[in-house]
Amino acid sequence: MSFTETDLGFIQEKDGYLIFFGKNSATLDQIKQAYPELSFRTVHQKHTDVCVPSSPDSGETIADAHFSEEDNVALVVKTADCIPLLAYSKKQNLILAIHAGWRGVENQITPKSFVSAKMQEAEIFVGPHILQKSFEVDLDVKEQLEKVYLQHTEKPDAQVFISRDSKFYIDLKTIVKKQIQSVAIPFHLHELTIDTVSDTRLHSYRRDKQTSGRNLSFIARLKS
């Protein structure tokens, strides 16, 4: 099932769940106006490995993932090149939203979040983020991420870390996939493969530096 593009973002509804990856034109107020039936919740993102249960006052809680079993609650993550990862378990009536930048990937925020939420199976949606062609790093970052990657695979793929002119280009999404597999739960992965750096419909910190805004993404279980 593909995503539908609107003025605000990219939307998919599946199994009674709404998945939304926002464009740079979408403010939180605009999103709230578009979905007045939903209660929007955030966390205070700091590139941590912390996942918490969502609550009405969790906006001040330092965490980079949150989960809920409530209807009509939209769990929001904010990104500008980092991976927005949204997931649900139909069997458990459970939703999970994760902000995973390279520091979060190094801290293993994704597998830790699935464990914290006690998710037993999942439909997982990976949204727009910095793709390998744009994610140029120095040796120190490459070594940190390579160490994490090798913890989760017996057969490393050399294409995950490409070297060119003393720089490295890293495929964050593949590392995250390996991390999810390590949790050993059944899952289906859905990808919206858009590079935030090269696609001007989206905010990108790598491209715009301090002037960059944040792309807003959310997942909600709709009340039937």
DSSP 38: P
The CA-based dihedral angle spanning residues 118, 38, 218, 99, taken in that order and rounded to the nearest 10 degrees: -60
Q: How far apart are CA 20 and CA 88, in angstroms?
A: 13
What does the mean pLDDT of the chain come to?
96
pLDDT in tens, 65-95: 999 999 999 999 999 999 999 999 999 999 9
- For 104-116, b where at least 16 C-beta lie within 10 A, e where not — what string? bbbbbbbbbbbeb
Query: What gap in Å lies between CA 204 and CA 141, rounded to an integer?
Result: 19
The domains located in the chain, with CATH, are 4-129+173-221 (3.60.140.10)
pLDDT tens digits, 21-63: 999 999 999 999 999 999 999 999 999 999 999 999 999 999 9
- The band of 1, judged by pLDDT with boundaries at 50, 70 and 90, is low
| pTM for the predicted model, two decimal places | 0.96
pLDDT tens-place string over residues 109-154: 999 999 999 999 999 999 999 999 999 999 999 999 999 999 998 8
The number of CA neighbours under 13 Å toward the Cβ of 100 is: 31
